[in-house]
Each structure stands twice: as structure tokens, then as C-alpha cells.
Chains A and B, each alone.
Chain A
């Protein structure tokens, strides 16, 4: 009788442990959302862009289905950005940000808190505490040409990032706000970016709505086929 009880206990422990492991091992691979970008460029022009974004971290393409001001598709890969209009490739340009360090990929991998810096050669140089902010300064050792990065966190969420040049002058500021938890993924629905060029600044506010994680439909858009060039 005792052996049976022991067996039951072992079985229960095994079932509980395996469920816990399953939850832990749950991976997030896809994110899609409606987005809008309100921008003031360096010339003072104000531009609104509205669309839907698809990203699958295994496919490594960010697909933007833009509906305003012009209907157009943008496919961004690690190396190139393709502009597609009416099913035709109209422009190809070099990518500016590797997929790994896009907010979509960092959120799916749960590494946005330190902007993925923990897995890089960047070293934590300084840590400061405010009443509700933790500010960390990151530097690349043995590279005098690279500027420092400063991150701010609140409640273990990244709230800001400042990029400095090697002279300590601020080049850009990013703010991450309105975090939403979707099926376990914390995503900043609002992002504000300031870029400082000479004595001017550009402002970009990106907002996301209707965020979905691991959506299994829309396979076509997640792996949008880039048509051959003109």
C-alpha cells in the first residue's frame, strides 16, 4: 500500500514538473500588430504612416503592410529593405538595424529589459538608483570610437535608452511606454524617438494596437515573398 502511495506521489510530482517545464519552455516566435508612426523630420515636415506589422523570428523578416499615406509593402531583412508596390519591387536599400536588435525580436526573446546588451561585448559600467528608476551605463571596453549607451528601467521594464557619441554628446533618445502584457510577452505599445542632428531634432512616435502573439494565420504576410526586381 505504501509503495502505491509513493508511486502516486512520484507520478504527481512528475506530471507537475513536466507541466511546469512545458510552460517554461513555451516559446514566442510571432508578433503582429496595427501600428502608426507620427514623425517630424529634420526639415520640419510632419508625416503620418499607418499599417500592420508582421514578424516571425524564425523567418527573420519584418513585413510592414502600409495603408496610409500610400498602399505599399516594406520587407526588412538583416541586410536589405525591399519596397513593394502593386506586387512589384520598386526599391531596395541597405537595412539600418539588424533584426536581432529590433524591439519585436527583443520582446519575443524577453531581452528588451537591457536592450539585449547582456548577450553582447558591452559591459555594465555604472548603476544608479532613482526612487523609481534604475539607470545603467554600458560601454564597449577597448573601443574608444564607440559611444556609451545609457538605459533606464522601471519595474524591470526598459523605459529609456540614450545613445552617446565617443565625446559624450547625445545622439538619440528612445522612450518605451504603455507596456502591454500579451500572453506573457511584455510589449511597449508606445515608443518615442528623438534624434539630434546639428542643432535640429527629429521626433518619431510609434504606437502599436491590436497586438497578437504567436498568431498562426497570415502565413503569407509573415513570409512575404519579395518579387524579382524591375
Chain B
């Protein structure tokens, strides 16, 4: 009886940990659909007539179009759209990017640093971590870092 209990406990532990990992690979499709429904309409309209410019869209009075911040989109460079680097506090970013453990004390927990700087630090950490993985992949010697240009 004791053995059976141990076996059942073992399997239930295995199953619960296994279900947890599968659960990580899910997202809320409805939330995503709602989040981008206006942009989806904008995309469809542009694909239907590629001569339209953002200025043309600004002059249109359509309900869903009014909910999109076209002015911001116009100013956002594609670099920002793709890499999110335009409004970066570069100093804080570099701390996060190059040496996150030191940066943590200098930027992340310092009261003197602005929210922008702290955010930039964390973006640096995230990108650094992503690049760290990729650098390790690209470089056969684990632990060596990718030249970042800073």
C-alpha cells in the first residue's frame, strides 16, 4: 500500500511538472486579436491601396482609425518599431547590455536614476541575455562575449 502511494505520488509529481512546461507554451489568442484589431484593419486598407500614405489616413474619419495614434506611428522610425532603440538612454542601456550585474547596482536599484534609465537598463539586460545565448551559439568557446560596439 505504501509502495502504491509512493508510485502514485511520483507519477502525479511528474505529471504536474510536465503540464507546467506545456502550459508555458500558450498565449491568449483572443487578447492578441483584440490588441491588434485596429492595426489589422489599417494593414488591410494599406494592402488594398499601397499608394495611401500615413497623411491620407490622418485625413480619414473612421472610427477604428481614430483609435490609432498615427502621429506617433509617423514619428516612430522603423528602427524603433523593429529594435526599440531610438529613445534609449544609451548609458543605462550599455550597463545592462555589457555588464548587467554591475549595472544592477548602478542603475536598477538607484533612486537617482529616472524610470527611462531603469527601463533602458532592463531592456539592455534582456537583449544582452538574448545575445548572450546567441553569442555562445556563434562562438564555440562558452562564456566569451559578443563584441557589442560599446
- Which residues of A line the B interface, CB within 8 A? 36-42, 45-51, 64, 66-70, 72, 74, 79, 81, 83, 91, 93-94, 96-98, 100-101, 116-117, 120-122, 128, 130, 133, 135, 140-143, 145-147, 149-150, 152, 159-160, 162-163, 165, 170-173, 175, 192, 194-198, 202-203, 205
Contact = CB atoms under 8 A, between A and B. Distances in A.
A191 B122 CA distance: 23
Interface residues of B, number: 55
Given A49-B82, A197-B119, A69 B73 contact: yes
Nearest to B85: A93
Interface string B123-150: 1011101111110111010110000110
A100 B127 CA distance: 17
B126 A133 contact: no
A70 B74 contact: yes
**Chain B contact surface mostly:** helix
| 4 residue pairs, one from A and one from B, having the closest CB atoms | A120-B137, A94-B149, A160-B25, A152-B25
B39 interface: yes
A143 B136 contact: yes
Interface of B: 18, 21-22, 24-25, 27, 32, 35-36, 38-40, 42-43, 46-47, 50, 54, 68-70, 72-74, 76-85, 118-119, 122-123, 125-127, 129-134, 136-138, 140, 142-143, 148-149
Given A171-B126, A175-B27, 18 more contacts: A39-B81, A42-B119, A45-B73, A46-B35, A46-B68, A46-B73, A51-B78, A81-B79, A93-B85, A100-B137, A133-B25, A143-B142, A146-B132, A163-B130, A173-B24, A198-B122, A203-B32, A205-B36
Contacts of A149: 133
Contacts of A96: 83, 127, 130-131
A205 B137 contact: no
B79 to A, nearest CB: 6
B73 A48 contact: yes
Nearest to A200: B119
Contacts of A42: 84, 119, 123
B107 to A, nearest CB: 13
Contacts of A145: 132, 143
B128 to A, nearest CB: 10
A91 to B, nearest CB: 7
Nearest to A40: B35
Given A146-B136, A203-B32, A170 B129 contact: no
Nearest to A206: B82
Contact of A37 (B82, B123, B130): B82
Contacts of A195: 126
A149 to B, nearest CB: 6
Contacts of B54: 68-70
A121 B22 CA distance: 25
Contacts of A133: 22, 25
Q: Which of A68, A79, A140 has the most CB of B within 10 A?
A: A68
